[in-house]
Structure 1
Amino acid sequence: MLAPVETRSVSPVFVGRAEELGTLNDALARAAAGEPQALLIGGEAGVGKTRLVEEFATEACRRGAVVALGGCVEIGADGLPFAPFSTALRALRRELPEELAAAAAGQEEELTRLLPELGDPGSGRHDEEGMARLFELTARLLERVAADRTVVVALEDLHWADASTRHLLAYLLRTLRSGRLVVLATYRADDIHRRHPLRPLLAELDRLRTVHRIELARFTRTEVGRQLAGILAAEPDPGQVEEIFERSDGNAFFVEELAVCATEGCGTGLTDSLRDLLLVRVERMPESAQRIARIVAEGGSTVEYRLLAAVAGLAEDDLIEALRAAVNANILIATPAGDGYRFRHSLVREAVGDDLLPGERSRLNRRYAEALEADPTLVPADERVMRLASYWYHAHDPAKALPAVLDASVEARRRHAYSEQLRLLERAMELWDTTPEAVRDELRPIDYTEVYPPCGCDPATTPLRYLDLMAEAAVAGRLSGERERALKITKRALHLLEEDGDPLRAAWFWTQRAVMVQNLARGDGWKELATAQELVRGLPPSEVHAEVLTHVAGWSMLRAPGPEALSAAERAVEYARMVGARETEMNARLTLGTLMVDSGDVEAGLAVMGEVKDQAQRDGIATVAGRAHVNLPSELEAVGRSREAVPVLEEGTAYARRYGLLNTEAWVWSNLSDSLYSLGRWDEAVEAADKALRRGQSAKPQGAAALKLAQVALGRGDVAEAARQRDAAERYFGTHDPMPQQSLPLAALTVGVAAAEGRLLDVRAEVRRSLDGGVPPGTQRYVWPLLLGAATAEAEARALPAVQQGRTEALEGLFEAAKRLTTVVPVWLAHEQWVRAELARAEGRDTVDTWSEVVTAFESLDRPYDLARVRHRLAAALLGAGGDDERDRATELLRLAHAVAVHLGARPLGDAVALLAQRARLALTRVPEQRPADPAQALGLTSRERDVLRLVAAGRTNRQIAEELFISPKTASVHVSNILGKLGVSGRGEAAATAHRLGLFAADALDPAR
């Protein structure tokens, strides 16, 4: 109601800042062209940050942009979680209701944590990716809203931002890549002391080339004169300009205060104290207005009119008169919506607040809390719980503060504001001992915690315990990334439990500690898990027991696969089913399925994993479904079924992106890169690996992506890049938590790089180091490439005298390792034959038959690069055997291998093929001939090859072809290889498709029954 009152201290003329405003307008223009912009505006208090943002917002609106302003809220010392983003999204919803609803469609349950108007958030899920999921969905929401229009999101007073707001802003500025969007934030530079939580964020954002930082300087003497002229509506006296400039030192807000004091006749009586300067006009107001100012100062950044009326206890006419005096003095201003009041400048509010006596501050906070308890509608619903907790805490009333703080922690958890939840829980622990026992006995864990470490009692009827708070705080610390604090909490909890005699509760804390030790790179977590396992041993089934066993099985799957890991997974599934722990059961089944595949029970294991994936998607358990989209295709790739893995992975990228599962998405991209590499789609594999590096929030999926980039680089002959990416992968993985799925591929790449550089002794040393202690069960997918690289290096160097010493021992070691590996699926069997063939070549005893078997094994697999490599080896053997038929066949094999090498950019393979062809005086390209009318004749197929192709097209195996045509399986294999070469295809399926396309056979001729 007092919003129209004129102010006298603000200049209507915008002074200076032409360069800064130009920078902002340039950013607006680039955003309008589809390039999102990020800007930070810093400056000391009172320097004019808000005025600059207001001028820019006016210009942006004039250009047709939608502007959404949000400010960080200070209530005492407590910021509201996500307050500026909630305010900005609410403004966007008012301006673009239909567009925002469409952009949020399908994700309302998550996004309502920031914008409650979108609906009911439900119970939600709280996991390591919960906060990242919310951040990803928020970023995508803003990108979609800004797809067709320019949107400016301005966040003020970042120095007051809560941790969750800082994390969200950092994520947003790092990941925005599309949309006509400008995101800018202001902060008070003089408040950012060495330990201020905003300082690390500013340092991080300074390293981003996409973020532009603007620092506002104080006004010059000329600019102060122009500002005074605007305030006074007249040209100021030069002496007055000089005096005010000297006293204000160019600070725009101080200029305003000094100008008003000078016009009111108090300019000569001011002290040099900043606080006195800010309070002088407050003290000149009527006592009733001063009292209202003190009430508003303690209420928060903004105080609603109805709440202010309830706290002030004045008659409405008296309250309005007091407010009018404060607004006329330009101390308070009405909010844009006209429903509340705030100080025109936060410096004045801080000065008034600092002038309050300790008892006065506590009394005001109590009155705010009592008023809000009496009428909860006095403040917006999404702020009520947080503000009540702050008011009661600063009122120094533990009996009232503890329940209020716990309610606020629940609200913070609901919003995925885990940093604020942790801070509130720590505050609750601080209040615990001073809160009357009768009050504590009325509190229930089921009301305030989601974590119930078992105590053999019903959480709905048992009083809340201090250990319950510690458990919830430990999880909040883990989910917010505050792992050091969480680790300290678990240590204190376990110390308290030493005399408690509660093994299940202790086991739960040890399990949490294991996860945090791994996350903090303090170890592999096994000591902690083993302690937890020992604590639950022999106890009846329980959720904790099932969870411990699931963690043990998952740990063993990655680090010590084998029968014990399989047994732990089976028991975890059994226990989880008995106690109805649905999510734990699905995670345990996923681990069990993986271990089954690795142990050789392939089809059953894949079936278990597929069931879990489908079930988790149906039940809406995103984290398990996301993990299934990682593990299932990984196992498909492990058994050579890359073509089946790709669609699952492509579905996984969309699923992970939809639900904001950033780490999951990074793993999916990394695994997709793996399968695309196997299928000979190397350019796509590189793109997928790059996406994994960009999307990953933790190091390990990024390490896996770097491994794939190294493998492609090695295949293409860029040995230096392969070594660089291999070293990067090792840094990502670290040394604190070794896993075979990381160490063995690293070893294979180390062998590949060393072999490419001719360092055979280093190859042998790496193999000895990697296989020392034997081959871990279930790791054949990683060990075969390592053995192959070493065997190939030995074969290539067989004639070098310098490496003869130790050669026999090295070859025997490779033979022995190969004997111990499982070969129950075609891809593993093919690799075994390849390794044995290379070892035979290393000893000079490989033959055409040796390599024919290897080629036949790979012809049925989707491994074009591997097939090209073994064809090259077979061609060399054929040329060594001599004979025209062998020479013709070698020519076709080399042409096929060369085509693959050129397509993939595999320069070492291409060079080797070209060199072999040159030495044998073979042409790698066919001389074009006139095409005969008969397609078979045009392809150069003999009569016998036509018969073999007919049976290949009918789906017959080499053995079946041999039986029908009365030839040996080896001869059938030779014919098949010749046919593939003449058709220019890489496999039997492509050969059948070519026969159908060319109409080589009548439909009845392809009937297997024929």
Structure 2
Amino acid sequence: MLGAVETRSVSPVFVGRAGELTVLKEALARATAGEPQALLLAGEAGVGKTRLLEEFCAGAVKEHAVVALGGCVEIGAEGLPFAPFSAALRSLLRQLPDELAAAAAGQEEQLARLLPELSAPGRGTPLRAQEGEEESMARLFELTVRLLERVAAERPVVLVLEDLHWADASTRHLLTYLFRTLRSGRLVVIASYRSDDIHRRHPLRPLLAELDRLRTLRRIELSRFTRGEVRRQLAGILAATPEEALVDRVFERSDGNAFFVEELACSGDDCDHVMPETLRDLLLVRVEALPEHAQRVVRVVAEGGSTVEYELLAAVAGLGEDALIEALRAAVGANILLAAPDGDGYRFRHSLVREAISDDLLPGERSRLNRRYAEALEADPTLIRADEHAPRLASYWYSAKDANKALPATLTAAVAARRRYAFAEQLRLLERAMELWDLAGDEVRSTLRPVDFTEAYPPCGCDPATKPLQYLDLMAEAAVAGRFCGERERALKITKRALRLLDEDSDPLRQAWFWNQKGWLMSSLGRGDGRAEITRAEELLRGHEPSAVHAEILTHHASWGALHSPGPEALLAAERAVEYARMVGAEDIEANAQLTLAGLLVESGDIEKGIARMLTVRDRIAGGHLTRDLARVHVNLPHALESVGRSAEAIAYAREGIAFCRRYGLSDGEGWVWANLAESLVSYGLWDEAVDAVAQVGCTTTGAKPRVGASERLSRLALYRGEWDAAAAHLAEARRLYGSHAPQPQYALPIARLSLGVAAGEGRIADLRAELAQILEQGLAPGTQRYAWPLLLVGATAEADARGLPAAEPGRAKAIDIIRRAAKTVATPVPVWQGYERWVRAELLRAEDRATPEDWAEVAELFEACERPFGLARVRYRHAESLLSAGGDEETRARAADLLLAARKVAEPLSAKPLLEDISLLAQRARLALEGHATVPVPDRAADDPLETFGLTSRERDVLALVAQGHTNRQIAESLFISPKTASVHVSNILAKLGVAGRGEAAALAHRLRLFAG
């Protein structure tokens, strides 16, 4: 309405910020070259963030970039879900309609949750999502990122998201996802926020801490102006050189805050007048100078939200059109209000002024204005955009303190938030509805129906379309929303409260449902393993008719058993879960139970049947017949194939799963698949690709468990490559992520295996024995052979390598016996684990000096049929060592040389340093001239004494012998009649010549290579 009114900035001269502006321009240049950029702009209120962005965006437009602005909206206690992204996408749609339409092609209905204009005319958003709720939210996030990348594929796009301190949780989650997964496109994303508003408990604080860890993110902090910059700003405002006394007064009062400088400079006709004493007076002084009708309109706008549409304002203000326009002209002319950049509405030039005016309203005045806003929207919903109607109406009625109106409006807004996958906003709205529940009258509550406001997660055996909504329905819906948005603490609190309310209730189905939720939440929060809660839920259902609740709880029971105690009981629970789900027609729950059952079948030895079940679920998902747990089959199938030694198939299915997860935006599921792919790549001998796969885990998920797997893979590779410090560091990270609650074999045993490997590499045989004995004392559960055999192999190999080490002799026979007895309890259902069983047996025989070439030949023959090239290389080395130790003719020596060459061919490209060292030293000792180039140099003449290879002096050999026996520097000094300092120097020289990091490694190497007679 006031497009012709001049709205120039109060400060026409851009002051300072040269360094910050340069950073932004450089980011645009890099983005234009194809490297997407992410920046955070922080500063206190009024310091000049918006002005800096305006200056940068104006320059970006001159460089032919497309600029899309979006701001977070403050409405009541909660913002509009995804408000800044919706506004920015709407701007892109207006500027690049064809490009945006092409980028969104095929995904319009999903993306319409952010930008309703993309939805086909006449087609509403369905009540239930097409996929599982959590997966759908992840897919929406992924689709949004890919949309922005496609739009910015050919031209630079600047996406500016302002006022992040007001961002709703869904916006924060989407922004985090964008910053973490942005991979391509000529895109610059800038998010600004008030740093002075971020108190200790502000919800933005955890996000900022997480974003600080991203190497791809740059943060810009705006400081206040210096006195010289204040002088320049005043000169621009006044169009004249200011007097130094005025500069001093303004600088002192404003403390360099750019907005306060403007307000002080323009607070009267004469800038030398007596300045306002308080900040509130400073912000209101120009408002109070407006005509009365303009002040009234400004007060109405202040209570309407960050931006108020003209038609809505006209309906609420109660002025004639001419009077309203005149009032708006006065407010805009005074630089208090501005025309909104998008749409026909008005906003305050600075939010501090709006906050001051809103705070100045009387309590009755505020509630009356909110009531008028609510009544205007109820009378004519078209006054604002349809996607904003529900949350704004709920906020207005709540602020109007009308519980009878606010309760149904809040519930409607919660449904709208759920449809947009804004689960954090849904949770807050449901909590507000619970607050309003007792304040609303019975006549209002009796008209509400569960079918209209909830997904009816706990079926209660009656028609949700006819029974009235209950308070416990809201609690159930809120608990699920809390799970989906990651607010598990709040969800657990709601669940516990619901169970207290249900103590006197006779509804066992609902009680069982809440107990099941509690079990899931307790486990995910690390408060326990959830078993007691599952048991309680099952007890409540005993004797009742089968239902979806039965099927869901049985599935949870089976999943718990598969993770914590795989075996016949878990298998039976999974079979019952499938049966119950089929009986009640719960297709999604059945698919979940089928996957659990399939995994247990594979672990029990019924491999083909289990894999076939997984492939059936996979085909049903691909055909669109299932709606939840879309990613799980793509996680479980490669995992199962790897467990039976079919690594090549596992790799192929994992890559297919990654493509599937990306297509549907299942980022968390993608992280799990990457972790499984990394494991199969390690097994298959593609170690560099495995490292790349591990890197993708952190880029796609924040879940702890897949990152445990990623750290485990890195630690294992470091052990294989002799990088002991790195192995220990990755092991520590895996332990930190895993925690100590609810031990699960699939994590506990691999972590223990790594711990034993690090101890062996550092020569800590006593620590290794103690830890292994403790693990084996607890027993190895059925179905855990994929974790148990590698664990036993580390222990057996360590005992064999320590043979002859004096410090290892006490307790060695007992340790060997413990391993041998444990091995008898572990299954060997497939060739790969048969090979491991024979390998463990051969290592135990080597530890007793009884291994023969035939023993190692048998192991090698089994591994030749398995997809484990590095394992085969290690076995071939041992076979060659056994042949040479047994003596023999030249044919035997040639056979040993062939075995070493084959092992070296595998180890060299993998950079498996310990194995390469073993191969080279064995060849030297046996006087074998291996063909080709060795990673570890081999002297031209093999030494009679292997210690000559390392260049040790006679005295250093004596010291090493004592180090190998576990002597300290003082004990070495006493034995050799030298000073402790001299002993220390000898030890340091020995460590350097051997290329090891510590005394333990030196001792282990000496005895592993038989450098001293046993």
TM-score by length of 2: 0.88
Secondary structure of 2:219 counterpart: strand
Q: Deviations over 1:109-133 (max 9, x none)?
A: 4332222222255432454454444
Residue 891 of structure 2 aligns with which residue? 885
| Deviation (angstroms), 1:235 | 4.4
Pairing 1:438–2:456 present: no
Residue 30 of structure 1 aligns with which residue? 30
The counterpart of 2:850, out of the listed 841, 845, 850, is 845
Pairing 1:656–2:661 present: yes
Which whole-Å CA distance do the structure 2 matches of 1:905 and 1:447 have between them?
62
Residue 512 of structure 1 aligns with which residue? 517
The counterpart of 2:481, out of the listed 473, 476, 490, is 476
* 1:315-464 equivalences in 2 (<5 Å): 315-337=320-342, 339-464=344-469
| Deviation (angstroms), 1:756 | 2.6
Residue 973 of structure 1 aligns with which residue? none
Pairing 1:836–2:841 present: yes
Residue 166 of structure 2 aligns with which residue? 160
Q: Deviations over 1:788-833 (max 9, x none)?
A: 2222222233334443333333223222222222222111212122
* 1:539-688 equivalences in 2 (<5 Å): 539-619=544-624, 621=626, 624-688=629-693
Residue 87 of structure 2 aligns with which residue? 87
Secondary structure of 1:185 counterpart: strand
Secondary structure of 2:189 counterpart: strand
- Decide whether the 8 Å contact of 2:417 with 2:423 is kept in 1: yes
Greater alpha carbon shift after TM alignment, 40-49 vs 649-658:
40-49
- Decide whether the 8 Å contact of 2:267 with 2:282 is kept in 1: no
Pairing 1:809–2:809 present: no
The counterpart of 1:912, out of the listed 903, 911, 918, is 918
| Deviation (angstroms), 1:91 | 1.0
Secondary structure of 1:69 counterpart: strand
Greater alpha carbon shift after TM alignment, 700-709 vs 312-321:
312-321
Secondary structure of 2:550 counterpart: helix
Pairing 1:721–2:726 present: yes
Which whole-Å CA distance do the structure 2 matches of 1:458 and 1:311 have between them?
41
Residue 536 of structure 1 aligns with which residue? 541
Pairing 1:140–2:175 present: no
- Runs of 4+ with >6 A deviation: none
Identity %: 65
TM-score by length of 1: 0.88
Which whole-Å CA distance do the structure 1 matches of 2:9 and 2:266 have between them?
6
* 1:261-272 equivalences in 2 (<5 Å): 261-263=267-269, 268=273, 271-272=276-277
| Deviation (angstroms), 1:922 | 2.3
| Deviation (angstroms), 1:552 | 0.5
- Kindly tell me: are residues 193 and 644 of structure 1, through their superposed partners in 2, closer, same or farther at Cα, counting changes over 3 Å? closer
- Kindly tell me: are residues 757 and 12 of structure 1, through their superposed partners in 2, closer, same or farther at Cα, counting changes over 3 Å? closer
- Kindly tell me: are residues 291 and 802 of structure 1, through their superposed partners in 2, closer, same or farther at Cα, counting changes over 3 Å? closer
- Kindly tell me: are residues 58 and 722 of structure 1, through their superposed partners in 2, closer, same or farther at Cα, counting changes over 3 Å? same
Which whole-Å CA distance do the structure 2 matches of 1:159 and 1:332 have between them?
21
The counterpart of 2:237, out of the listed 231, 255, 258, is 231
Which whole-Å CA distance do the structure 2 matches of 1:249 and 1:797 have between them?
71
Greater alpha carbon shift after TM alignment, 242-251 vs 21-30:
242-251
Q: Deviations over 1:258-313 (max 9, x none)?
A: 443432x6973653122223223322322222221111111111111111111123
| Deviation (angstroms), 1:378 | 0.4
- Kindly tell me: are residues 324 and 803 of structure 1, through their superposed partners in 2, closer, same or farther at Cα, counting changes over 3 Å? closer
- Kindly tell me: are residues 560 and 366 of structure 1, through their superposed partners in 2, closer, same or farther at Cα, counting changes over 3 Å? same
Which whole-Å CA distance do the structure 2 matches of 1:735 and 1:243 have between them?
61
Pairing 1:894–2:900 present: yes
- Kindly tell me: are residues 317 and 602 of structure 1, through their superposed partners in 2, closer, same or farther at Cα, counting changes over 3 Å? same
AA aligned to 1:205 is L
Residue 312 of structure 1 aligns with which residue? 317
| Deviation (angstroms), 1:511 | 1.2
Residue 498 of structure 1 aligns with which residue? 503
AA aligned to 1:55 is E
Secondary structure of 1:41 counterpart: strand
Residue 101 of structure 2 aligns with which residue? 101
| Deviation (angstroms), 1:382 | 1.1
Greater alpha carbon shift after TM alignment, 58-67 vs 510-519:
510-519
Aligned residues: 926
AA aligned to 2:163 is D
- Decide whether the 8 Å contact of 1:38 with 1:212 is kept in 2: yes
Pairing 1:280–2:281 present: no
- Decide whether the 8 Å contact of 1:114 with 1:415 is kept in 2: yes
Q: Deviations over 1:347-384 (max 9, x none)?
A: 22222212221111111111111111111110011111
Which whole-Å CA distance do the structure 1 matches of 2:18 and 2:896 have between them?
75
| Deviation (angstroms), 1:239 | 5.0
Pairing 1:170–2:205 present: no
- Decide whether the 8 Å contact of 1:715 with 1:908 is kept in 2: yes
- Decide whether the 8 Å contact of 2:246 with 2:272 is kept in 1: no
Greater alpha carbon shift after TM alignment, 827-836 vs 884-893:
884-893
- Decide whether the 8 Å contact of 1:662 with 1:697 is kept in 2: no
AA aligned to 1:733 is Y
- Kindly tell me: are residues 291 and 603 of structure 1, through their superposed partners in 2, closer, same or farther at Cα, counting changes over 3 Å? same
| Deviation (angstroms), 1:427 | 0.4
Which whole-Å CA distance do the structure 2 matches of 1:885 and 1:704 have between them?
45
Q: Deviations over 1:43-96 (max 9, x none)?
A: 333332222211111001011111111111112343111111111111122222
Which whole-Å CA distance do the structure 2 matches of 1:7 and 1:693 have between them?
47
Greater alpha carbon shift after TM alignment, 227-236 vs 475-484:
227-236
- Decide whether the 8 Å contact of 1:9 with 1:257 is kept in 2: no
- Decide whether the 8 Å contact of 2:523 with 2:742 is kept in 1: yes
Residue 980 of structure 1 aligns with which residue? none
Greater alpha carbon shift after TM alignment, 867-876 vs 364-373:
867-876
| Deviation (angstroms), 1:238 | 5.2
* 1:867-882 equivalences in 2 (<5 Å): 867-879=872-884, 880=886, 882=888
- Decide whether the 8 Å contact of 1:76 with 1:298 is kept in 2: no
AA aligned to 1:140 is R
Which whole-Å CA distance do the structure 1 matches of 2:244 and 2:854 have between them?
103
Which whole-Å CA distance do the structure 2 matches of 1:210 and 1:183 have between them?
12
Secondary structure of 1:74 counterpart: coil
| Deviation (angstroms), 1:143 | 2.6
Which whole-Å CA distance do the structure 1 matches of 2:722 and 2:730 have between them?
14
| Deviation (angstroms), 1:425 | 0.5
AA aligned to 2:767 is D
Which whole-Å CA distance do the structure 2 matches of 1:665 and 1:39 have between them?
26
Residue 4 of structure 1 aligns with which residue? 4
Secondary structure of 1:320 counterpart: helix
Secondary structure of 1:772 counterpart: helix
AA aligned to 1:649 is A
Residue 794 of structure 1 aligns with which residue? 799
| Deviation (angstroms), 1:401 | 0.5
Which whole-Å CA distance do the structure 2 matches of 1:319 and 1:915 have between them?
93
Which whole-Å CA distance do the structure 1 matches of 2:829 and 2:201 have between them?
59
Pairing 1:708–2:713 present: yes
| Deviation (angstroms), 1:781 | 0.8
AA aligned to 2:289 is R
Pairing 1:216–2:244 present: no
Which whole-Å CA distance do the structure 2 matches of 1:266 and 1:841 have between them?
94
Q: List runs of 5+ in structure 2 lacking aligned partners.
A: 934-1014
Pairing 1:295–2:300 present: yes
Secondary structure of 1:362 counterpart: helix
Which whole-Å CA distance do the structure 2 matches of 1:402 and 1:818 have between them?
64
- Kindly tell me: are residues 216 and 693 of structure 1, through their superposed partners in 2, closer, same or farther at Cα, counting changes over 3 Å? closer
Which whole-Å CA distance do the structure 2 matches of 1:846 and 1:800 have between them?
18
Which whole-Å CA distance do the structure 2 matches of 1:625 and 1:247 have between them?
60
Which whole-Å CA distance do the structure 2 matches of 1:851 and 1:680 have between them?
21
Greater alpha carbon shift after TM alignment, 170-179 vs 416-425:
170-179
- Decide whether the 8 Å contact of 2:373 with 2:396 is kept in 1: yes
